[in-house]
Chains A and B, each alone.
Chain A
Amino acid sequence: MKYIFFFLFPFITFSQEKVILISYKAVYNTELPTTKNGFLYVSNNQKKTIYFTEKISKNKDDEDQEVDVTVRLNSGENQYNYFDYEKDTLFTKDDIFRESKIIKEKIPRLKWTLLEESKTIEDVTLNKATCYFRGRNYIAWYSTSTAIKSGPWKFQGLPGLIYQIYDETKRYNWFLQYVKVANYDFNSENLNFKNKETISIKEYANLKFNNNDELDSKILTKLPRGATIVNQKTFRTGFEIKFEWEEDLKED
Chain B
Amino acid sequence: MKNVFFALAFMLVGTFAFANNVNEVSLSNNENATEIVNSLELVSNYDSSIIIDDFELFGTCYVTIGFYDSDGNKVAERTLQFNNVDSAQECSDIADAVGEALENL
Contact = CB atoms under 8 A, between A and B. Distances in A.
Interface of A: 28, 30-34, 36, 55, 62, 64, 66-74, 79, 95, 97-98, 208, 212, 215-216, 218-219, 222-224, 226-235, 237-239
A238 B71 contact: yes
Interface in B84-105: 95, 97-99, 101-105
Nearest to B99: A69
B18 to A, nearest CB: 47
A32 B69 CA distance: 9
Nearest to B96: A69
Interface stretch (B3-11, B27-35, B36-44, B73-81): B73-81
Residue among A98, A212, A230 facing the most chain B CB atoms (10 A cut-off): A230
B55 interface: no
A227 B67 contact: no
A67 B102 contact: no
A215 B105 CA distance: 9
Contacts of B103: 71
B82 interface: yes
A74 B66 CA distance: 14
Contact of A71 (B68, B70, B73, B82): B68
B70 A235 contact: no
Contacts of B69: 72-74, 95, 238
A229 B79 contact: yes
A230 B68 contact: no
Contact of B77 (A67, A222, A227): A67
B4 to A, nearest CB: 65
A31 B68 contact: yes
Determine the main DSSP class of B at the interface with A: strand
A71 B99 contact: yes
B45 interface: no
A25 to B, nearest CB: 14
A30 B105 contact: no
Given A73-B105, A222-B102, A226-B83, A68 B65 contact: yes
A30 B71 contact: yes
Contacts of A215: 67, 76, 78
A34 B66 contact: no
Contact of B80 (A30, A62, A64, A228): A228
B99 A31 contact: no
Contacts of A74: 69-70
A36 B72 CA distance: 11
Contact of A219 (B70, B97, B102, B104): B102
Nearest to A65: B66
Given A219-B105, A226-B83, A31 B66 contact: yes
A1 B88 CA distance: 64
A69 B98 contact: yes
B85 to A, nearest CB: 10
B99 A34 contact: no
